[in-house]
Amino acid sequence: MIAFLDIQTTSNNYKLASIVAFSVVVIDDDRIIHSIERTVKPLNVLSSMEERSSGYSNSELRSQNCFADYFAELVEILGDAVVIFFDKFSEMIWRKSLREIGFPVNKSQQIIQELLIRRGILNQKTSLDSLCNLLKKDTSLNRLGLNANVLAAIYTEYVLADNGSEAINQPFADYKVVTDFDNLPKNPGVYYFFDSEKAVIYVGKAINLKERIKAHFSSKIQFELTLTESTFSIEYKETGNELISLLLESAEIARLKPLYNTQQIEDILPWTIESRIDKKGIFRIFPKEKSYSDNYHSISFNRDSVITKLKNLALQFSLCYRFLGIERTSGSCSSPLCKGVCTGMETREAYNKRAQKAFDSLQSNKESYFLKLSGRVKSEEAFVLVKDGVYEGFGFIPLEYPVRSIADFEAFIEPYDNTYFTNRSIHQYLNKKGIVKYNLP
């Protein structure tokens, strides 16, 4: 079940904006099951400027219900539906409005404007009215905020349907095409080299996009000569800081597998520490290399690091190397503090108690934090989110948006896989002097 939600506000400023109109269309099994349009009495009288910008007057809103009065109706018709908005601002305001009346709401993974940019149908953000003109849709828009039905139609036709073929010839979302080296920014970012068939053949990162891209074309190294001779166009995306450049580059190389990127093409599977009770009733802790993409319990991305951690557990909790998967010898193990479970000198009950405590300590030591970084523009901050020791992704938050919970981060995060390369990038960054990890709110 999906719901399309259109809203109109008093202002484009997040702090000042309040909802004056909204509409909802709920679809289940390709059938509209709910459709409502509501106008809202604002808490404060609108200024003349707010009346003009919102398209609604104080006189017509004065007799309407406050937003909180629609709460019960919204809960009933939205239920567990995935809510889809036209743009990010609409989602932010909707979340803020519900939070103000004590109702938290999950973020929407579906922003129509962003989805259309990703598919190459849009090159930049635009209004709903301009989008309809661009798509040449013969649609008469209702008053501002009352066009959830139009959102549903656009989503169905241009997102669900296979109309993204033109995306091949269009820039990526939020990416810019290089037309002149002299106009390149001197900011951190990620860049893409395309061949004559518009396939990505190289992805790179840069602290200074201008200098790094130009360096490819001035180099006399054979690799660079071959790469640049094969390059027909270039696109880039600013990231605001070096760490997100590293993380995005790693994710894009894994996704696109460009011809001239060789170092990060191979997947490196994570090693984990897991546990089980064996046939003799002994609680075993052992290293295991994952063969699937479930990285949630990953401890490291190489076996040596896991073995080192297991040896530390053996010392801390007087455990046996044999039952930690470190040794496979018969008889006594070589662990200096083993109390003899491997030779029958210690009962399995006594050993299991310590082994369980050791395994539980691994889970409790997983950190959850975020890193605060420079944004792409002065009006935003960037962040990298790590939850339970696992990299979740990064995002950009407007300075005026208050972050009070992890749900606020999740409203802006671009999720990415936790891999060896992202793990390494974050750890190297944390080893720099003066880096602060912030606890999640």
Are 51 and 16 in a shared domain?
Answer: yes
Is residue 67 situated within a structural domain? yes
Are 356 and 289 in a shared domain?
Answer: yes
Are 305 and 228 in a shared domain?
Answer: no
pLDDT at 86: 92
Are 240 and 278 in a shared domain?
Answer: no
Q: What is the CATH number of the domain that holds 222?
A: 3.40.1440.10
Tens of pLDDT, residue by residue over 400-415, are 777 777 777 877 888 8
Residue where a domain stops, chosen among 364, 380, 407: 364
User: Which two three-digit tokens encode residue 239?
Assistant: 């990231």
Is residue 265 situated within a structural domain? no
Nearest to 21 by CA among 32, 10, 34: 10
Is residue 342 situated within a structural domain? yes
pLDDT at 1: 87
**Dist. CA 40–CA 31, nearest whole Å:** 27
Residue where a domain stops, chosen among 127, 148, 166: 166
Q: Which of 137-146, 336-345, 354-363 is predicted with the least confidence, judged by mean pLDDT? A: 137-146
**Dist. CA 212–CA 299, nearest whole Å:** 34
Mean pLDDT to the nearest integer, 169-198:
79
Are 289 and 393 in a shared domain?
Answer: no
Mean pLDDT to the nearest integer, 370-376:
94
Is residue 266 situated within a structural domain? no
Is residue 171 situated within a structural domain? no
Are 225 and 342 in a shared domain?
Answer: no
Q: At 178, is the secondary structure helix, strand, or coil?
A: coil
Are 42 and 92 in a shared domain?
Answer: yes
Are 182 and 150 in a shared domain?
Answer: no
Are 151 and 27 in a shared domain?
Answer: yes
Is residue 107 situated within a structural domain? yes
| Whether the predicted pLDDT of 362 surpasses 80 | yes
Nearest to 254 by CA among 415, 416, 118: 416
CA geometry: angle 156, 107, 115, nearest 5 deg? 35
| Whether the predicted pLDDT of 240 surpasses 90 | yes
Residue where a domain stops, chosen among 103, 138, 166: 166
Is residue 97 situated within a structural domain? yes
| Whether the predicted pLDDT of 134 surpasses 90 | no
Range of the structural domain that residue 359 is part of: 271-364
| Whether the predicted pLDDT of 7 surpasses 90 | yes
pLDDT at 108: 59
Tens of pLDDT, residue by residue over 71-111, are 889 888 888 888 999 998 898 888 888 877 777 665 555 88
User: Which two three-digit tokens encode residue 204?
Assistant: 């790179």
Are 350 and 430 in a shared domain?
Answer: no
Tens of pLDDT, residue by residue over 19-60, are 999 999 999 888 999 999 999 999 889 999 999 989 999 999
Are 250 and 380 in a shared domain?
Answer: no
Q: What is the CATH number of the domain that holds 46?
A: 3.30.420.10
How many separate domains does the chain show? 4
Are 410 and 357 in a shared domain?
Answer: no
| Whether the predicted pLDDT of 8 surpasses 50 | yes
pLDDT at 175: 62
| Cα dihedral 409→412→415→418 (10° resolution) | -40
Is residue 376 situated within a structural domain? yes
pLDDT at 3: 92
Mean pLDDT score across all residues of the chain = 86
| Whether the predicted pLDDT of 355 surpasses 90 | yes
Higher pLDDT, 350 or 431: 350
